[in-house]
Amino acid sequence: MSKKITISQLKIAIARSPLKVKSEALIFLNRGLSEYKRIAVQSAPWRVGGSGGGVPRETGNLREKHYTRVNGFEGRFGVSPNAVRYAQFVHSGTKRMEARPWLEYARTRADGAVKRHYQTFMDNILKFIAT
């Protein structure tokens, strides 16, 4: 594992080439979001009446409506409530149905891979500073 980047080193990298830092950040965000989506949508152990992680597999409608968005230095992953109105009930549960929090499941399961992508992002910035 490489050393940590300092705030002053990050400022130097941004001052030298903001486009390079932004490019590396976009790569990191897209790779990180793809890990969350891969785990949430493709890894789906929940079944009707069951528990586990990942998106429930009843109809596929909820599976198809996931989005990833990158805006500046912010990335988002989720399901638009307008696209699938019942998504919040599936995720949080109701008094008649057990919660199936697939977004939380994806976050916890993908954290290791996202941290590795983050480390690569930081390593690339350090290499850039060193050159």
pLDDT tens digits for range 100-112 = 787 888 888 889 9
Six-digit token pair at 117? 């992508």
pLDDT tens digits for range 34-67 = 888 888 777 655 554 555 555 555 567 777 788 8
Q: What is the dihedral of CA 73, 102, 37, 127, to 10 degrees?
A: 50
Kindly list the domain boundaries of the chain, sorted by start residue.
Answer: 7-130
Per-residue pLDDT, 28 = 93
Per-residue pLDDT, 55 = 56
pLDDT tens digits for range 65-99 = 888 888 888 888 888 878 888 888 888 888 888 88
Angle between helices 18-37 and 102-130 in degrees, nearest 10:
150
Q: What is the DSSP letter of 97?
A: S
Per-residue pLDDT, 47 = 52
* Helical segments of 38-86, H only: 61-64
